[in-house]
Amino acid sequence: MDGKENIIVSRRTLLGAAAFASVVGAAVLTAVPAVAEDAGVVTGPVPDMSHLPRKKVKLVDPPFVHEHEQIATVGPQVVEFELVIQEKEMVIDDYGTTVQAMTFNGTVPGPLMVVHEGDYVELTLKNPDTNQMQHNIDFHSSTGALGGGGLTLINPGEQVVLRWKATRPGVFVYHCAPGGPMIPWHVVSGMNGAIMVLPREGLKDGYGKPLKYDRVYYVGEQDFYIPKDEEGNFKSYESPGDGYDDMLKVMRTLTPTHEVFNGAVGALTGDNAMKAAVGETVLIVHSQANRDTRPHIIGGHGDYVWATGKFRNAPEVDLETWHIPGGCAGAALYTFLQPGIYAYVNHNLIEAVELGATAHFMVEGEWNDDLMTQVQAPTPIG
Ligand SMILES: [Cu+2]
């Protein structure tokens, strides 16, 4: 020990304390020092990483994923990312319903980051002074300090740089977690995303056989809790803080008004459908930071599924529907065998059809009559 012993503070105490500061911040922004001691953590000197190569990644909006290698061709490296927090109004359905969203990089979910096991993730998190709230980031894939949340709490106008080592392969959620009631509120206002930590040698089927994908898509499922007025119409607000009290009441019913993929009803359907071709293998990364979900490809399957997203476990095969617990990301690999439009849904079909949790895959190619054919077209019963 070098005299800088870590101070252990229970998570309960810490979150309670942070909650108070954050609630004050929600109503009237109060400058609260965003320092490591808030998390009961004293970090040591910043380790020298000059011996490792560095790579700067430009993130892209979901459902797309930045270019990356499936099998690492270089040793561990420091991978640099930047996330800019944006508080912004977003339309979430076909009726023009709005939410004063809180976002990483302006999208719900935030972008998918990809690194390899053993890499260091070095994130610059920016909270521009056009925002009103304190924010931070909790990476479920990292270790210590509330997943980094205790070292990244920043006021509007501030930025912070966090580095952590990706020691566990898998897909993992990240989300804002400023403390107390701010945590669920920021998460259900859009502040969540995912990171994929690939094994250095790529994905395997559990028996050593390599698995590769031709395309990868990132579906972030989001529950929204939009308050209604006396007539039953959804209300709109001027700022996130303006709607906080009303939204908290809806949140406490545990019944979302919207359950959507990628920020809005229809964000991944029709012209926005995810594309593929017969014979292509698609990796679908699916996260839900707050509620359980159960993805299903209507007319297809999960060939290899890591439902809880952790690649050191052998994938399950031939699944019809898989369960992703809230606060988790999953990954499913499927090789499309027939052309057409596939609905990709949360197979609570009320959430899929009534609340919005439906996406489409548009798949080109030749139909296989051996797999399915219409032997007789509809005719009167005879
Ligand atoms: Cu936040």
| 301 Cβ neighbours under 8 A, 6+ residues apart | 318, 319, 320, 334
Residue-level pLDDT at 40: 72
Q: Specify the pLDDT at position 21.
A: 42
State in Å: Cα 38 to ligand 1 middle.
16
- DSSP annotation of 36 reads G
**pLDDT tens for residues 295-339?**
999 999 999 999 999 999 999 999 999 999 999 999 999 999 999
| 233 C-beta neighbours (distance < 10 Å), count | 10
- Half-sphere exposure (CA, 13 Å, Cβ side) for 12? 0
**How far is Cα 241 from Cα 136, in angstroms, rounded to an integer?**
17
How many angstroms does the Cα of residue 303 sit away from the middle of ligand 1? 36
352: left (phi over 0), alpha (psi -120 to 50) or beta: alpha
**If the chain, 382 residues long, is cut into consecutive pieces of 10 residues, what is the mean pLDDT of each piece?**
38 42 40 51 88 97 98 97 98 98 98 98 98 98 97 98 98 97 98 98 98 98 98 96 97 98 98 98 98 98 98 98 98 98 98 98 98 98 92
Question: Which pLDDT score, from 0 to 100, does residue 39 have?
Answer: 65
Coil vs helix vs strand at 252: coil
Q: How far does residue 184's CA lie from ligand 1's centre (Å)?
A: 10
Closest CA to 259 of 360, 358, 330, 112: 358
Distance CA 198, CA 168 (A): 9
Identify the burial level of 232 via C-beta atoms within 10 angstroms of its C-beta, where 0-12 means exposed, 13-18 middle and 19 or more buried: exposed
The edge-to-edge listing of strands for the beta sheet with 170-175 is 113-116, 192-198, 170-175, 138-139
Distance 53 CA to ligand 1 centre (A): 31
- Whose structure tokens read 């701010």? 182
Q: E strand or H helix at 15, and its extent?
A: helix 11-27
Residue 95 is predicted with a pLDDT of 97
Instruction: Tell me how far apart the alpha carbons of residues 178 and 244 are, in angstroms, rounded to a whole number.
Output: 15
Q: Which residues are catalytic?
A: 135, 138, 140, 175-176, 186, 191, 296, 320-321, 347
Question: What are the angstrom distances between the C-alpha of 322 and each of 261, 315, 355?
Answer: 16, 11, 19
Torsion angle of alpha carbons 277, 279, 281, 284, nearest 10°? 40
Asked if omega into 33 is within 30° of 0 (cis), the reply is no
Distance, CA of 239 to CA of 222 (rounded, Å): 19
The backbone torsions φ and ψ at residue 83, rounded to the nearest 5 degrees and listed phi first, read -120, 130
| 72 Cα to the center of ligand 1, angstroms | 33
Helix (H) or strand (E) holding 335: strand 328-335
3-state secondary structure of 55: strand
Q: What number of other Cβ atoms are within 10 A of residue 55's Cβ?
A: 15
Q: How far is the CA of 110 from the centre of ligand 1 (A)?
A: 12
Domains defined for the chain, CATH in brackets: 11-36+52-199 (2.60.40.420), 215-364 (2.60.40.420)
- Which amino acid makes up residue 29? L
